[in-house]
């Protein structure tokens, strides 16, 4: 077995193992989120306040997850296209949130 075939086999085994661990965890999280959503939509008065409170109290985790997802996408693009996307990742990570806030704010003011 040459090295490329062995690497592809190892990659597929690792992906299957990762999916076996992550899919049940993601499913449980989605079920919990759906139940939480149904509970709070019955009492609409606190839904948005609770949602914003959840985001504010878990902002560091959300930002870390955002950073990790961006790194994974940049790494995948580097691997597939055989180019260096780390500068593009860093630029997107730094520029995307302010640009989105400015665009949303401008668009929101016009309406």
Indicate the domain borders of the chain: 1-45, 58-111
Q: Is 2 helix (H, G, I), strand (E, B) or coil?
A: coil
Residues 6+ apart with CB under 8 A from 89: 70, 71, 73, 74
Q: What per-residue confidence (pLDDT) applies to 1? A: 64
Closest by alpha carbon to 47, among 58, 36, 56? 36
Q: What is the mean pLDDT of the chain?
A: 77
Q: What per-residue confidence (pLDDT) applies to 42? A: 62
- Per 3-state DSSP, the chain is made up of helix, strand and coil in percentages (nearest 5) of 90, 0, 10
What average pLDDT does the segment 45-50 reach?
A: 71
Distance of CA 60 to the CA centre of its chain: 13
- When pLDDT is cut at 50, 70 and 90, the band that residue 111 belongs to is very low
The answer to whether the CB of 88 falls within 8 A of the CB of 70 is: no
What DSSP character marks residue 71?
H
Best-predicted range by mean pLDDT (63-72, 73-82, 95-104): 63-72
Specify the pTM. 0.41
- When pLDDT is cut at 50, 70 and 90, the band that residue 61 belongs to is confident
The percentage of residues in the chain with a pLDDT greater than 90, rounded to a whole number, is 4
Q: Which long-range contacts (CB under 8 A, 24 or more apart) does 22-29 make?
A: none
What average pLDDT does the segment 56-65 reach?
A: 85
What average pLDDT does the segment 43-67 reach?
A: 79
- CA-CA distance, 111 to 99, in Å (whole number)? 18
């Amino acid at each position: 077995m040459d090295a490329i075939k062995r690497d592809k086999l190892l990659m597929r085994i690792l992906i299957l193992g990762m999916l076996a661990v992550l899919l049940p965890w993601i499913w449980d999280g989605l079920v919990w989120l759906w139940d939480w959503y149904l509970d709070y939509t019955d009492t609409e008065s606190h839904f948005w306040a609770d949602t914003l409170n959840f985001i504010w109290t878990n902002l560091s985790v959300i930002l870390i997850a955002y950073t990790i997802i961006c790194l994974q996408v940049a790494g995948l693009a580097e691997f597939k296209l055989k180019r260096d996307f780390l500068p593009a990742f860093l630029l997107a990570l730094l520029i995307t949130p302010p640009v989105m806030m400015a665009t949303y704010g401008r668009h929101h003011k016009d309406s």
